[in-house]
Structure 1
Amino acid sequence: MTLDGDKLQVTGVQDDTPAAKAGIQADDRIVKIDGQTLEGLSLNDAVGLLKNSENDTVTLSIEREGEADLIETEVTKEKLAAIVADGKMLDDKIGYLAISEFTGLTSEQFQKAYQSLQDQGMERLIIDLRGNPGGLVTAVCDTLRQILPEGLIVYTEDKNGKREEYTCDGDTPISIPLVVLVNENTASAAEIFTGAVKDYGIGTIVGTTTFGKGIVQNTFQLSDGSVVKLTIAHYYTPLGNDIHKVGITPDVEVELPDDATSDVQLEKALEVVKGLESAE
């Protein structure tokens, strides 16, 4: 899901899940959760309303294109493996693949979604990292190895200058036009993804400047049971760019206004990807 103003936009629905059974569709916009509006909430807080309800069901008020009135639907909560990478085919043989976070599940889910889109005849691809807060360095590197050419993915340096490199063997470089969608909430590992795509020139970055978290942090448990999070290194893009507190500026800048009636960033991404030349 992505946060669009005060609404949660559904980017995709997996078959045979509670959402699918409740009739929720891709591009639906959730405007209320159990009667509570999402005004003023962050993406994490809004998603938290869905996850943290103590009830066995959650009632959603949904806005759907072509429907004059809100749709009320009740979703039964079930424990499922988190969907962090999911894709669908758009018109003109354009694939759309959204990655919400980089976890231990991301690489495998990306591979399955990417392969499914290829099997359906995908000729161009949009990867949506908007609202992706990051996650594991290993997870984003495993994901990038599926599309990058041979070379450096990212490297880290600690305060003593000790350098650690993550590389790609380049066995399956992407050869179709690619656009990566980002916004101000694209952070950390998602910026590693964005930076690698931009530095290698294998895709066009569309959206707004990313968050700017270019540090690696670890958590350490103290003897009293409390936990402290410490910065242990900075990371750098393949070309040596330090994006901490700076972010990554997109190649094509486009804002998503709070009062937008459509996803103008995705519309621009579609326009851009259609104009790109294939490397094949």
Structure 2
Amino acid sequence: MKKLWFDAFALLFFVLGTFGNIWVEEKRNGYSIVYTSMDSVNIKDYDDYFKKGIGEVVNFFNTPYKNNFSIYIHPNRKSLDSTWQKDWGLPDFKSQCWMVASGISEKLDIISPKTWDSLSCEHHYADTIGTYQLIKHELVHVFHGQRNKSPDFSTTNGIDWLVEGLATYASGQCDSTRISEVKKVISSKEYPQNLNEFWKGNSKYGLSGTMVMYIDDEFGRTKLLSLLRYNHLMDVLNELEITEEELIGNWKYFVEQLNVELKTVADSISGLMSKHHYNPEELASEAYIELEGKVQELAKKPQTKQEFVDGYNKLWTEGPFSHVRLAKMEQPAEEIANYIDSLRVGDQSVSLEWINKTAMLTVNTMMGVDTQEHVFEAYRQIAEKRTDTLIIDLRNNEGGTFAGIPLIGHLVKDTTDIGMFVSQKWWRNNTNEPTIDDIKNLQPWKGWSIKTFWKDVQDNPLTRVQIVPMYPHFEGPVYVLIGNKTASAAELTTDALAQLENTTTIGQTTAGKMLSQKMFDLPYDLQLSLPIADYFSTRIGRIEGKGVNPNITIDQSAAKELSLALIKGEKLEDALAKVQEKLSNKEK
């Protein structure tokens, strides 16, 4: 046995020989990962699952793990079998093909997930949701073992349904498919009459999982946590102050009332997030885990589909990131991109007026082919009328698609990198935020199609956003009016304009909702919008959650008045004082 210490990297490498393999140990906060050199390239991907799973288990119980533990990643089935033979005292034991992992108080053993396609008959690493839920299932066993009188569950009596049902329920494996199976078992009157039978047969995961779901719903999470110490059925029933017959009867009624449709939708939302969200790390955050739990609770309540949609969107008003919305499907997601690419929103999107030699260009949305056309036409008129000064009003602009490109393009003198979109592929392989150096060798994205953009931004780790000069060029002073409704593509535009020397931004900090979203279809004619890419400005970095600050801060309702005063030549201090006085008088 040989140990190598690298204190500078806060890593402990533990090397030993097993079947000719070299094992390495890396310590984390609360757990260690032990793996062979074969898996060195996979550890970051696996650790994303481990960190998220541990966080969700802790959040589920609202209690941390009691002890540190180890996660052993076995390179093959022979290695896993050898461990189980020793741990279980069964020297001739050979695992069945579906068996890939186990968890007890001190450790989790798992065959390297990327080998499952060849070493397992049921599990596939490409099934990201299934892979994650299996890992989380075993992490629940670890948590349970650390609180049970039998840390390895070897001396439990009559609570197999609780051990496995808890892991099934808390991991998210008690999904709509399993609930539907249990409903069929109940309707056919083939459900078990005693708890020992719950962990038997083809429906054992669903039966046991829904029993724990019922206990959680009826008795509460604190009571459920208190059951983890017991290793005997009678102790569990006494803690709940209920008979076995009463427990099964109440469970039956509970399952019969469950809304499988809404549970299906909630599970599908979770799956889409895991598959398409731009940064897996954010899905491991305490805020997201808590919100996802609330969504699952919402889905268990008897209600209409519209009530669920409204409740979901209300939860997300305080969500950890923007651009998430649930809605009834108007048309399939695949058709929406084509619709947006040809959408014309009407003349109300852009207005242009003159105040003497000052042009007031109001852009209310970045959506619409005609909005782009109106912006091009506005700059033509601005040049034709020999305008001295330009005011661009984005205070009510909540974003859209590409109308910001000409809005910026007619003001830049030189080709300018303004930022980059960042997809899941970047965060899968990087922990650092991207900078301009990371995009300098990339071809900038070009085009006007949201359908093409959505594909490209997901296919590439980084998407370079570069603005080229457009003509006619306006080079006079520019004032950009912004407020807390200025969002998404309008924030990208605001930030890009703020890079120009002749531009002054006035108003309030923008909304801080700068992500790129895409729509995905859900079961039962619902549709989810979720963010597929983050955005980082070359000037100020990430905008999401922070917004773009103005050069001059004033209540957004007074931004126009202040800009006109400055255009007239008033000193900033004097103009601000006058405007502030008017605002104060209005409040009185």
Q: Quickly name the TM-score band, shorter chain normalised.
A: 0.5 to 0.7
> Which runs of no fewer than 5 residues in structure 1 stay unpaired?
1-78, 257-262
Find the aligned partners of 1:146 and 1:107 in 2 and give their Cα distance. Answer: 12
Task: In structure 2, give the amino acid aligned to 1:86.
Answer: S
Find the aligned partners of 2:519 and 2:372 in 1 and give their Cα distance. Answer: 23
Question: 1:214-254 CA deviation, whole Å, 9 max, x = no partner?
Answer: 21111112353211111111112232521111111100111
Find the aligned partners of 2:345 and 2:535 in 1 and give their Cα distance. Answer: 33
**Residue 491 of structure 2, aligned match among 191, 195, 219:** 191
Moved more, 211-220 or 234-243: 234-243
Find the aligned partners of 2:475 and 2:541 in 1 and give their Cα distance. Answer: 25
Q: What secondary structure sits across from 1:200 in the alignment?
A: coil
Find the aligned partners of 1:199 and 1:159 in 2 and give their Cα distance. Answer: 28
Q: What secondary structure sits across from 1:132 in the alignment?
A: coil
Q: Is residue 513 of structure 2 the alignment partner of residue 213 of structure 1?
A: yes
User: What percent of counterpart residues are identical?
Assistant: 25
Whether the 8 Å CA contact 1:140–1:190 is kept in 2: the answer is yes
Question: 1:20-72 CA deviation, whole Å, 9 max, x = no partner?
Answer: xxxxxxxxxxxxxxxxxxxxxxxxxxxxxxxxxxxxxxxxxxxxxxxxxxxxx
Find the aligned partners of 2:507 and 2:484 in 1 and give their Cα distance. Answer: 9
Find the aligned partners of 1:80 and 1:144 in 2 and give their Cα distance. Answer: 21
Aligned residues: 190
Task: In structure 2, give the amino acid aligned to 1:264.
Answer: A
**Normalization by structure 1: what TM-score?**
0.62
**Normalization by structure 2: what TM-score?**
0.31
Q: Is residue 404 of structure 2 the alignment partner of residue 140 of structure 1?
A: yes
Q: Hey, what does 1:267 align to over in structure 2?
A: 561
Whether the 8 Å CA contact 2:418–2:539 is kept in 1: the answer is no
Question: 1:53-112 CA deviation, whole Å, 9 max, x = no partner?
Answer: xxxxxxxxxxxxxxxxxxxxxxxxxx9834311111103x11100000011222210121
Moved more, 138-147 or 156-165: 138-147
Find the aligned partners of 2:481 and 2:386 in 1 and give their Cα distance. Answer: 21
Q: Hey, what does 2:466 align to over in structure 1?
A: 167
Find the aligned partners of 1:265 and 1:223 in 2 and give their Cα distance. Answer: 46
Q: What secondary structure sits across from 2:516 in the alignment?
A: strand
Q: What secondary structure sits across from 1:175 in the alignment?
A: coil
Whether the 8 Å CA contact 1:125–1:273 is kept in 2: the answer is no
Find the aligned partners of 2:345 and 2:462 in 1 and give their Cα distance. Answer: 38
Whether the 8 Å CA contact 1:195–1:238 is kept in 2: the answer is no
- Judging by fraction of residues, say which structure has more strand: 1
User: 1:171 Cα shift?
Assistant: 4.3
Task: In structure 2, give the amino acid aligned to 1:164.
Answer: T
Per the alignment, do residues 231 and 101 of structure 1 end up closer, same or farther by CA in structure 2, a change over 3 Å counting?
A: same
Find the aligned partners of 1:202 and 1:191 in 2 and give their Cα distance. Answer: 18
Per the alignment, do residues 85 and 154 of structure 1 end up closer, same or farther by CA in structure 2, a change over 3 Å counting?
A: farther
Whether the 8 Å CA contact 1:212–1:248 is kept in 2: the answer is yes
Whether the 8 Å CA contact 1:96–1:127 is kept in 2: the answer is yes
Per the alignment, do residues 171 and 80 of structure 1 end up closer, same or farther by CA in structure 2, a change over 3 Å counting?
A: closer
Alignment of 1:37-116 (within 5 A): 81-91=346-356, 93-103=357-367, 104-116=369-381
User: 1:174 Cα shift?
Assistant: 3.1
Select the structure of larger CA radius of gyration: 2
Q: What secondary structure sits across from 1:244 in the alignment?
A: coil
Find the aligned partners of 1:151 and 1:275 in 2 and give their Cα distance. Answer: 30
Per the alignment, do residues 80 and 127 of structure 1 end up closer, same or farther by CA in structure 2, a change over 3 Å counting?
A: closer
- Judging by fraction of residues, say which structure has more helix: 2
Whether the 8 Å CA contact 1:179–1:272 is kept in 2: the answer is no
**Residue 394 of structure 2, aligned match among 129, 137, 141:** 129
Find the aligned partners of 2:517 and 2:470 in 1 and give their Cα distance. Answer: 30
Whether the 8 Å CA contact 1:124–1:274 is kept in 2: the answer is no
Q: What secondary structure sits across from 2:479 in the alignment?
A: strand
Find the aligned partners of 2:386 and 2:362 in 1 and give their Cα distance. Answer: 18
User: 1:272 Cα shift?
Assistant: 2.9
Find the aligned partners of 2:376 and 2:406 in 1 and give their Cα distance. Answer: 10
Q: Over aligned residues, Cα RMSD in angstroms?
A: 2.2
Q: Hey, what does 1:200 align to over in structure 2?
A: 500
Question: 1:189-210 CA deviation, whole Å, 9 max, x = no partner?
Answer: 1101100011233410001111
> Which runs of no fewer than 5 residues in structure 2 stay unpaired?
1-343, 427-460, 571-588
Q: Is residue 552 of structure 2 the alignment partner of residue 246 of structure 1?
A: no
User: 1:131 Cα shift?
Assistant: 1.2
Q: Hey, what does 1:47 align to over in structure 2?
A: none
